[in-house]
Chain A
Amino acid sequence: MGLREKILTKSLYVFHLSSGSCNNCDIEIIDCLTPRYDIERFGIVLVGSIKHADILLCTGSANRLTIPRIKALYEQMPKPGFVVAFGACGSSRGLFKDSYNTGKPLDEIIPVDIYIPGCPPRPEAIIAGLLKLIGKLNPKGKK
């Protein structure tokens, strides 16, 4: 089933990867699952395996130890798949830009489709970002 069809009929599966983050972004993502924000009502589900994922949500500033793993996970993600660079660290490494252990920003390691900036992005921003991605994938269909 193509991704477009999937959006209309099934949930979008998101795999969350932390490539060296302070955990704030990760907590805000998980906060989105909780009753107050509840992203599952939009059909967005977190999955435990990259092989089932449609979206790779990457937090953290991609420190050296994690670079091979980021690449490996991107290879394993079934295509078409989309990458979300999450937070200031995901977008550009943020404060950690000049550190000896953060080599490159995420978008020089794997192609990124959408950036959700913030430190950390609020749950509302996360939902808006993911919905924007869905809208991008399905411009004519119903939401």
Chain B
Amino acid sequence: MTIDEFLNNISGRFGGNILNASKRSEKRAYIDIYPKDIREFVRYIFKDLAFRFNTASGVDDFDSLEILYHFSHDPSGITISLRAILNDKEGPHIDTITDITRSAWWIERELHELFGIEFDGNADLRPLLLPDDWPQGVYPLRKDFLPPKRDSRKD
């Protein structure tokens, strides 16, 4: 499956639910979707098209949070990323995908504690990495969390 075939396939299937599909190279594409559609996309890409789930990465875009779900199709050597933008930074939430693939078990916990994103339907959002006495409501990977000093040699 080439990137073009994948993009045709996915737009044939989901049409108007794709906000933007951008082909970056013969191996990479980024597809922007509505957060409410994440389960349908993941189910199709993971189960029907048999892609492998690489990971999910969160980004703090200052006025919104963004989650990228990365999938690879190993027989074809392509990697695509689904982008879901969560505009409500006070209470960001998206549906869980852990019942579609157990490979998302840890990453949802990590995104929850480092960005504060709620995964609806996931009952196990215990902290994964941070210590127990980490203050509630403080999310280290958000941009408003005090960043480390730029150049510690200047100390």
Contacts and interface: CB of A to CB of B under 8 A. Distances in A.
Do any beta carbons of A and B sit within 8 angstroms of each other in the complex? Answer: yes
Interface of A: 64-65, 97-101
A100 B148 contact: yes
B148 A98 contact: yes
Contacts of B152: 97-98
B148 A65 contact: no
A64 B132 CA distance: 10
- Secondary structure dominating the interface of B: loop
Contacts of B148: 98-100
Contacts of A101: 130-131, 140
A65 B140 contact: no
A99 B148 CA distance: 6
B131 A64 contact: yes
Nearest to A95: B152
A98 B149 CA distance: 7
Contacts of A97: 152
Interface of B: 130-131, 133-134, 140, 145, 148-149, 152
Contact of B145 (A65, A98, A100): A100
Nearest to A63: B131
A63 to B, nearest CB: 8
Contacts of B131: 64-65, 101
A60 to B, nearest CB: 15
Nearest to A99: B148
Given A65-B131, A100-B145, A101-B130, 12 more contacts: A64-B131, A64-B133, A64-B134, A97-B152, A98-B148, A98-B149, A98-B152, A99-B148, A100-B140, A100-B148, A101-B131, A101-B140
Of the candidates A64, A65, A100, A101, the one having the most CB atoms from chain B within 10 angstroms of its own CB is A100
A64 B135 CA distance: 13
Contacts of B140: 100-101
Nearest to A66: B131
B39 to A, nearest CB: 33
Nearest to A97: B152
Nearest to A67: B131
A98 B134 CA distance: 17
